[in-house]
Chains A and B, each alone.
Chain A
Amino acid sequence: MKILVAIKRVLDYSVKVRVKTDHSDVDLANAKMSMNPFCEIAVEEAVRLKEAGVASEIIVVSIGSKAVQETIRSAMAMGADRGIWIDSGEAALSPLTIAQLLAKVVQAEQPSVVLLGKQAIDSDDNQTGQMLAALCDYPQATFASKVTIADSKATVVREVDGGLQTLQLALPLVVTTDLRLNEPRYVKLPDIMKAKKKPLDTQTPESLGVSLNNSVKMIKVEPPSERKAGIMVPDVDALINSLKNQAKVL
């Protein structure tokens, strides 16, 4: 059984985000970039499924400039078998375009399970997995906190408002991962060394027959307004009074 994992290279979670002075975008110059944490969880889940004997091959795919190769290699160090880099240059891509590119890879590879992070911590769209499932006409289970695959069926526990929902789905399917699905491993030193020898195939939007018609245009980026300093209150009565009359939350 083949698993396809789509991963995204994003600004590292620990980096303090700066907005460019012209407000055109976030400033990525010299900033540390890493695999999106939810994508890392998706890779980890794929590796666990392989270790459990459920999956036989893990393919990782990522879209972007040459630098995403590094992210693909780190997924290989975690345990992915081979990689596909879709060279889209520096173009900004909307979730729909990304889903269209991934759908072509799904078509070519015919995986039984497609794993994606539920969202990327940079744009926070939370759309790609859902769009990909629709384009491939696959069932989807988003926000997964537990994935079990047996007898050509997937049982996925989803984190939904108010609790957990368990779905049973037929394969092939799309699963997007939530934070509590697993805790990604540290990579092993021998696996780091092996990663560079694993095959990495290059594709382009043209070779996949997808035109980068970006339907979304970013107009302006603003940093969140600065939080005002708090006030000290002498006692509980004053606190309740402030919450009622100043903050107006009671």
Chain B
Amino acid sequence: MEFGLSTEQQLIVDTVRSFVENEMYPHEAEIERTGQVPLELGLEIRDKCRDLGFYAANMPEAVGGGGLNHLDFTLLERELGRPSMALSVFFGRPSGILLACEGEQRERYLLPAVRGERFDALAMTEPDAGSDVRGMKCYAKQDGGDWIINGSKHFISHADIADFVIVFVATGEEQTAQGKKKLITCFLVDRDTAGFEIRKGYQSVSHRGYHNCILNFDNCRVPAAQILGEVHQGFDMANKWLYGTRLTVAAFCVGRARRVFELALPYAAERKQFGQAIGRFQGVSFKLADMITEIDAADYLTLAAAWKMDQGLDADREIASAKLYATEMLARVTDQALQIFGGMGLMSDLPLERFWRDARVERIWDGTSEIQRHIISRHLLRPLGC
């Protein structure tokens, strides 16, 4: 068993750290203020990232990606969790599900996404179908060789900058032990398709500048050639390919928690009250002890889940545990860090209040904490017939 990083892993971590510190941190305050990343800045980050060969580091070399394994990619994502998400999104990591592209789809969607020429966004959630994915209402009906999509999606992250969306829609229904469930198909839909509209979403408390969008489909006609995978197989496709996004959330939380900790620790050592550093008070020092212990625990859970995936082993339970623990850890760590900074921590002059706000969404998106607990407990109890 090896807990240290190899020279290559250390170089990846150091390079990405230095990239986010130099190319992203200086823009964060302005993005918080305006809620917007100027597109030219985003594209500049994308171009630099492409030149460095880090763009699409998650994709195999065979399709032009960086070819990192899950563990190395998770180390990279841990660093990308440090800066504003509105900026790190341009450090491109196309959705892994695009590897399911076949034939012409590869030239049209997969390869341009890997080259950084086309951004993708993933659309699943609906106003009435959040965690209950198979309760979705957005549907597609076959019409000759085409499919006609109707309905809407919301909370679609970074669809504002997407050139195409990977959208999951209902194409039928089946009777299951839990009642009627939708059969789902995954479509690739270009931004400028007639009958498809990407609208501005809601103002979110978390991740300013990283926008959620609303997608409207109004008799949107899409040829069958734009179905990703097979008809009615969308839910299985999502389960097969999208587990990785949960590990991304866990890795981002660990990286951000370390950044927060690196602010809180020296502050506790330097800030004086009652004639001594506040770190001398057990009320503060024990907070730091708890914070670092939890950060390390989340870190190891996350890396262990990635390692398991690299071994080709089923890691669903471990990924769910990492996502659950890392997101809840981040909530506690940002809250305690803010407490250490006292009143000043609440002021937007310091980034603490931002980390605290940003932490809130992590327990909700990509599977709520409750869904993760459900996944974990089912893995434990199902084999016992419970």
Contact = CB atoms under 8 A, between A and B. Distances in A.
Nearest to A189: B53
Interface residues of A, number: 16
Q: Is the interface of B mostly helix, strand, loop or mixed?
A: helix
Interface residues of B, number: 17
Interface stretch (B11-19, B34-42, B367-375): B11-19
A206 to B, nearest CB: 26
A57 B156 CA distance: 51
Contacts of A195: 7-8, 11
A224 interface: no
A187 B18 CA distance: 10
A196 B57 contact: no
Residue among B11, B14, B48, B57 with max Cβ neighbours from chain A (10 Å): B11
The listed residue with most A CB atoms (<10 A of its CB), out of B14, B51, B57, is: B14
B7 A196 contact: yes
Contact of B15 (A187, A190, A193, A196): A187
B202 to A, nearest CB: 36
Interface in B6-36: 7-8, 10-12, 14-15, 18-19
A70 B57 contact: no
A74 B11 contact: yes
Contacts, number: 44
B54 interface: yes
Contacts of A69: 7
Contacts of B51: 188
Contact of A73 (B11, B15, B19, B54): B11
Contacts of A34: 14
Contacts of A73: 7-8, 11
Interface of B: 7-8, 10-12, 14-15, 18-19, 48, 51-54, 57, 66, 68
- Chain A interface, DSSP helix/strand/loop, else mixed: helix
A189 B69 CA distance: 13
B344 to A, nearest CB: 19
Given A74-B7, A195-B7, A195-B11, 13 more contacts: A69-B7, A70-B7, A186-B48, A187-B11, A187-B15, A188-B51, A188-B53, A189-B52, A189-B54, A190-B66, A192-B8, A192-B11, A192-B15
A174 to B, nearest CB: 28
B52 A70 contact: no
A77 interface: yes
